[in-house]
Structure 1
Amino acid sequence: MSWMARSASLNGLRVFETAARHLSFTAAARELRSTQSAVSQQVRALEEQLGLPLFERIYRGVKLTEAGHTLFVSVQESFAGIDRTIERLQHRHRHPHVNILTDFSFAAYWLMPRLPSFRERYPHVDVRIVTNQGVLDWRTQEVDVAIVFCDERALAGGVPLLFHEDVFPVCSPGFLQQHGPIESIEALSRAPLLTLTADQGQRWLDWPSYFRQLGGIAYHESSELTFNNYTLLIQAAIAGQGIAMGWSGLVDDLLDKGMLIGLSDMRLRSARGYGVVDARPDAPGEAKRALWEWILECAARQT
């Protein structure tokens, strides 16, 4: 940027924009609550600074020169951009927002049922939820807080734990009426099981690992029903289409409502679990702090 361009005052450009929009120094003076002579002087000063004629003085008015028209378009776009930025900043100040990244199942079964209490406590904070079913990488997305399924290394590295991976089979009451009680690991292995795939590198417990750790049974997944979305899998279990693996913390409300029955005698707990991550530690804020503390508070009440 040349010294000449830098010397053009913001006020002079604002006067020029107003005069160019009205094509009248008199109308510009009325809008600016100034005088026609003051507007004319400021426009002339700007022309002298730039070394360019911006207006042609004609009978009962003015018209833009080619340079004036080019500058007018640029100044209008710039002022509009400044106005939009100021509006966004003011809105953000009045209504701070916080972005949460998590997976579909956690959002649907843990976060959404509890979120009204946060909004009641902090009505001025806008919460935006970003979901993904695959491996969650908060470093590549515009998020403030990430709630992710963590392995032992991440939890040992200081990621605050919300709750451990605590799993047990769940099914609908109608399924048990149709198929009879499931009272042993062997009986469970012969039942129609709903499978959640881990084709994107997720580390949650699957049926083969579950049977191997709990009963020493070499179970091989059958071709029952397979899903890559836990929410859909749970809906299939509610519909009586098979037995799902239920995660404590996610299916609790469905158990309380009687939509699912948990075979809690076959519970298995791992060292993994859901943790909460500050995705932007270099960007502190009251909204993020409030959400962070609320998440940990909810998790503490659950345990």
Structure 2
Amino acid sequence: MSLTSKHISPNGLRVFESAARHLNFTASARELRSTQSAVSQQVRALEEQLGLKLFDRVYRGVQLTEPGQALFASVQEGFATIEKTIARLQQHHRNPQLNILTDFSLATYWLLPRLPDFRKQHPHIDVRIMTNQGVFDWRKQGADVAIVFGDQRELEGIPRLLNEEVLPVCGPGFLSQYGPIDDLARLREVPLLTLTADQGQRWLDWPGYFESLGAPPPLAHSELTFNNYPLLVQAAIAGQGVALGWRGLIDDLLERRMLVGLDQLRLGTTSGYGVVDAHPEDVSPAKRVFLEWVLLDSDGPSETPSQ
């Protein structure tokens, strides 16, 4: 049964809630900027409309009857729900949400370290990071902006963030134990860390790396396999083998000497990361400023890297 069918005023419920919380009509009137007599009249009108006695008048105040206690609990719960909904709607209206889709690696090693700068410049934008390893099709992911890895054909016409430039990397302790590793023949003999392709990622793997350099593939039994690139990098730091490292992602780890790069075995390809406006028809200011910010750190236009 609706409130209107019983002619119960929402304001009457608000007055009742205040009076029940204070258990004093004078204090309630002070809170509501009304008078004690007006509060008393509103409560009496509500009791008549409901056909229930909600308060017992006692010395210097009132106390709730059993029906009054039940109604008070329900009214408080209802008002709390309304207030939370209003706050959520106001927050959403004030702070636009920006959904950014990328893979685990780019999010971990490139985006997250730089994101505090964007949030400092634009604190009113709520940023939501969505990760989905290896999925190039961003159209059904609910993203506003997608930073995706693809080959030259897939990224045609898309601004490049990073060109694919890889080099073997390992921990300093591993290099001390197995080094020097200065040619492909020696690289084939040491334990290698590899990322599985079961999720469809297009990154260069060890067979593709050796093939691109005109060398035989690595020995299968020498590989340790992961399905998560950040975990693979941690294994390399821990000295468990050599991994393929992507410039732009592992630069900070190289600078801090957590990883050592075998620069003489560096390789560039025509693949890389591109920045996609998932919904060009949406011209929201939040998306526009993010696209401007993220491309400031890009490698520049879509150039084909030299090998």
TM over 0.5: yes
- CA deviation after TM superposition for structure 1 residue 285, in Å: 5.1
Match of residue 166 from structure 1? 165
Runs of at least 5 residues in structure 2 that lack an aligned partner in the other structure: 303-307
* Cα distance in 2 between the residues matched to 1:2 and 1:37: 28
* Cα distance in 1 between the residues matched to 2:70 and 2:40: 19
- CA deviation after TM superposition for structure 1 residue 115, in Å: 2.7
Match of residue 227 from structure 1? 226
* Cα distance in 1 between the residues matched to 2:11 and 2:67: 19
- CA deviation after TM superposition for structure 1 residue 245, in Å: 0.9
Runs of at least 5 residues in structure 1 that lack an aligned partner in the other structure: none
- CA deviation after TM superposition for structure 1 residue 264, in Å: 5.0
Tell me the TM-score normalised to structure 2 length.
0.74
Match of residue 33 from structure 2? 33
SS at match of 1:298: coil
Alignment of 1:1-303 (within 5 A): 2=2, 4=4, 7-47=7-47, 50-56=49-55, 58-60=57-59, 62-64=62-64, 67-88=67-88, 98=98, 100-125=100-125, 127=127, 129=129, 131=131, 135=135, 145-150=145-150, 155-156=155-156, 160-172=159-171, 178-183=178-183, 185-215=184-214, 217-219=216-218, 221-258=220-257, 259-271=259-271, 273-277=272-276, 286-300=285-299
* Cα distance in 1 between the residues matched to 2:158 and 2:8: 52
Query: CA 1:291–1:138 in 2, change beyond 3 Å: closer, same or farther?
Result: same
Q: CA RMSD in A?
A: 3.9
Residue type at the aligned position of 2:208 = S
- CA deviation after TM superposition for structure 1 residue 300, in Å: 4.5
Greater fraction helix: 1
Query: After alignment, is 202-211 or 96-105 more displaced?
Result: 96-105
The aligned length equals: 299
Query: CA 1:199–1:5 in 2, change beyond 3 Å: closer, same or farther?
Result: farther
| Contact 1:104–1:133, Cα closer than 8 Å, also in 2 | yes
* Cα distance in 2 between the residues matched to 1:154 and 1:5: 62
SS at match of 1:274: strand
Residue type at the aligned position of 1:192 = P
Match of residue 305 from structure 2? none
